Amino acid sequence: MYLALREIRFAKTRYVMIILIMLLISFLVLFVTGLAKGLAYANASSIKNMAASHFILQKDSDHRFGRSQLTEDTLTAAQQVAGDDNATPINLRMATVTEQGLSLKSDVTLFAIDMASWLAPKVIEGQTITNDTQGQVLVDRKLKEAGIKVGSVLVDQMTGASWTVSGFVANESYSHTPSIFMNEKDWLQLQSFTPVKGQNASDKSYNAIALKATGEQLAQLRAELADTDIISKSDTVSAVPGYKEEQGSLLMMIAFLYVISAMVLAVFFFVITIQKMSQFGILKAIGAKTGYLARNVVGQVLLLSIGSLAVSLGLIRIVYAVLPASMPFQLDSSTVLLSCSLFIVTAVLGSLLSVYKVSRTDALDAIGRTAA
């Protein structure tokens, strides 16, 4: 590391340029990763925020809430096994709403849940609702951008049903649309406008049942409810329309960014190493071991990588602070740690070509080139 630090101090301009390139690459990797995580969260945050471990869905529904239809008998059976408090129903549907008296339309996802259960979202502004309130809903704060506020009246474009906004919740969306939460009473009233085929408007049916269950309880439920699928939360999130396809494209982009980073860094350090072959040869001639020189090369790469990452993280925090609220961006500590670790590993792998070149350096040839 001594040689690495002396060289950086001696050739400041060269290494400032290298740090700048590494800074831009690491910033791009972190920013795209944050966008990918943000899009993933915005696509299914309402499901991810639920404290459920598993969900019960109708068999052959492709694990999608909108294609699933469960009866009250299924809910009763689930509650008998998991407990009344550990199995709670969910209904949802996509809708388009407007604020009463205005023409601006917003696509949303309507969720009907037990407001006394652990599925109820935390209210950040306004008042929460209960199972007894009527005509009131909780909405995601992204709807504020459409001018909606506490007390606004929302009208469903398809049915004409209307609800008053009682409060706002944070980070609740489904399939990239803001979520609206209502109780079962208002849901049944909404269903009376568009009843399910083959059912009376007053019949209770559910799209899914959220579970908190042990492994033993899950095994019993799978045996008793053979006409259903019981899947984990991660599988439920993956089944959200467009989630897999979107994340597949973004992850491929991030993977190629790492590959390109390794190639760019490898070329830069290899060129610098070639320029220093005479010095490496002389050091070998006076007794420096190949391992010592290799450690200095790798140490130099590590030092530059960590420094550029530190600056990149600072820039990311600044950019995140000025991003509009509508832009999905999320970088939690685990993602940052993983991304930084991968970048450092990528940089070190890129330096191995330089290490190989150093190991092949012949001291006599290097001295000859210097003398010439």
What is this structure's pTM? 0.78
The Cα–Cα gap between 141 and 124 comes to: 9
126-163 residue pLDDT tens: 999 999 999 999 999 989 888 899 999 999 998 989 99
Identify the pLDDT of residue 1. Answer: 59
**pLDDT confidence of residue 182:** 96
Strands 153-156 and 228-232: unpaired
Residue 201: what pLDDT? 53
What is the mean predicted confidence (pLDDT) over 223-244?
89
Greatest extent of the chain over all pairs of C-alpha atoms, in Å: 97
On the question of pLDDT at 369 being above 60, the answer is no
Q: Is the pLDDT of residue 371 over 60?
A: no
Does 195 have pLDDT greater than 70? no
| End-to-end CA gap in the chain | 30
Residue 321 has, within 13 A of its CA and on its CB side, a CA count of: 6
Q: Check whether 290 has a pLDDT greater than 80.
A: no
Closest to 339 (Cα-Cα) out of 288, 305, 362: 305
Residue whose C-alpha is closest to residue 185's, from 111, 131, 115: 131
351, with CB counted inside 10 A (0-12, 13-18, 19+), is buried
The single-letter code of the amino acid at 44 is: A
Query: Is 90 exceeded by the pLDDT of residue 355?
Result: no
Q: What is the mean pLDDT of the chain?
A: 85
User: pLDDT-based confidence at 361, cuts 50/70/90?
Assistant: low
* Cα 174 to Cα 94: distance, rounded to the nearest angstrom: 9
Report, as an integer, the average pLDDT of 105-115: 94
pLDDT exceeding 70 applies to what percent of the chain? 87
At 265, the pLDDT band (50, 70, 90 cuts) reads confident
The whole-number average pLDDT for the span 307-327 is 87
What is the predicted pLDDT for the residue at 216?
A: 92
Helix, strand, coil shares, percent, the chain, to 5: 55, 20, 25
Q: Mean per-residue pLDDT for 2-31?
A: 77
Compute CA distances 31 → 256, 257, 264, 319, whole Å.
Answer: 14, 11, 19, 9
Strands annotated E in the chain = 54-58, 70-71, 87-99, 105-113, 123-126, 136-140, 153-156, 162-169, 173-174, 177-182, 205-206, 208-211, 228-232
Of 29, 98, 10, 34, which Cα lies nearest the Cα of 308? 29
Span 188-203, average pLDDT: 69
Query: What residue ranges do the domains of the chain occupy?
Result: 2-44+244-371, 60-226
pLDDT band at 5; cut points 50, 70, 90: low
Q: What's residue 273's pLDDT?
A: 74
CA dist list (Å): 120 to 13, 137, 181, 204, 206? 57, 12, 8, 20, 17
Count of other CB atoms within 10 angstroms of residue 285: 14
Determine phi and psi for 160, rounding to 5 degrees. Answer: 85, 0
202 has a pLDDT exceeding 60: no
CA distance 61 to 321: 41
* Buried-state track 215-227, b at ≥16 Cβ within 10 A, e below 16: eebbebbeeebee
Helix 12-48 × helix 243-275 angle, to 10°: 170
Instruction: Indicate whether 184 pLDDT > 90.
Output: yes
- What percentage of the chain exceeds 90 in pLDDT? 39
Question: What pLDDT sits at residue 183?
Answer: 95
Q: Which of 66-80, 103-117, 215-229, 271-285 has the lowest mean pLDDT?
A: 271-285
CA dist 272 to 9, 13, 332, 336, 355, Å?
15, 13, 36, 30, 12
**pLDDT (average), residues 183-203:** 74
**Taking 70 as the threshold, does the pLDDT of residue 288 lie above it?**
no
Cβ atoms 65, 112 nearer than 8 A: no
